[in-house]
Structure 1
Amino acid sequence: MRTGLFVTALALGLSVTALPASAETIHLFGPFKGEHGATSPIKGSASAMLDTTKNTLSYRFEDNGLTGPVNAIHLHGPAAEGEDAGVIAPIPGPYQTRMTGTLTLTADQVKDVLAGKSYINLHTEKFPSGEARAQLTTELTGHKHHMEH
């Protein structure tokens, strides 16, 4: 029995040390804003964790104040705030006011997301091209100069 525990501990220890040191998780976030002529006061925001090793984007968002139920949600890019872009990946339903999930991206899509060039778009029946949009940006944007000596 002791031998089995020792082997298990050894195997666990090896798997932990085998993780790449370059693994990086970037936190992104953005408030939802109306777009395409939507005038309803939209409340809510999106946050996401980008894993640059696994090329995954884990999202969490909440919306409020839309003209009706959401009928489609997509991650769009590459685009700066105020610009429209194509779909990077659809976010699957069922659609609710609060949602979480994970998308798998390509290396190029990860670069676009890191550059702040992606957004979560909420589509409704009244606004099929998108009623609300949350541009995903990093907390570090604009703060890089403080790190220089």
Structure 2
Amino acid sequence: KGKETATFTFDTAKKKLSWNVKYSGLSGPATAAHIHGPAASGENAPPVIPFKKLKSPIKGSATLTDAQAADLEAGKYYVNVHTKANPDGEIRGQIEKAGGSM
């Protein structure tokens, strides 16, 4: 069974989101990985930020628009890692604030 842990930092002044996503135990190699949104936990939404690298750990960053930053801070983004066996996503995790900061 697949598992995922992820750490995100968000620089509110520069609107820069950085990530470090680690996963293991998938049914096969990741075929795609994205940040999807806006969607509440358990709801689906299209990809908004693709990950360029798919091998764990996935590290990267992106500068968000004002609307994306608002959705992120509202907890409406999630990470989805896709595989051939599970093209709609094998593992998923909602991005949430921890202790009042990202």
TM over 0.5: yes
Give the match for residue 89 of structure 1.
49
Q: CA RMSD in A?
A: 1.2
Distance 1:117 1:92 in 2: 21
- The answer to whether the aligner puts 1:45 opposite 2:5 as a matched pair is yes
- The answer to whether the aligner puts 1:137 opposite 2:96 as a matched pair is yes
Q: Percent identity?
A: 40
Amino acid at match of 1:139: A
Deviation at 1:49, TM superposition (A): 0.3
Deviation at 1:61, TM superposition (A): 1.1
SS in 1 for 2:95: strand
Larger radius of gyration: 1
Deviation at 1:105, TM superposition (A): 1.1
Give the match for residue 75 of structure 2.
116
Amino acid at match of 2:7: S
The one of the two structures with greater contact order (alpha-carbon pairs below 8 A, sep at least 6) is 2
Distance 1:69 1:101 in 2: 19
Matches within 5 A, 1:56-71: 56-71=16-31
SS in 2 for 1:138: coil
Deviation at 1:56, TM superposition (A): 1.2
Query: Relative to total residues, which structure has the larger helix share, 1 or 2?
Result: 1
Distance 1:46 1:119 in 2: 11
CA contact (8 A) 2:2 2:27 kept: no
Distance 1:89 1:98 in 2: 17
Distance 2:3 2:31 in 1: 18
Distance 1:130 1:44 in 2: 12
Aligned residues: 100
Distance 1:73 1:104 in 2: 18
Deviation at 1:44, TM superposition (A): 2.6
Unaligned runs of 5+ in 1: 1-40, 142-149
Distance 1:72 1:104 in 2: 20
- The answer to whether the aligner puts 1:99 opposite 2:20 as a matched pair is no
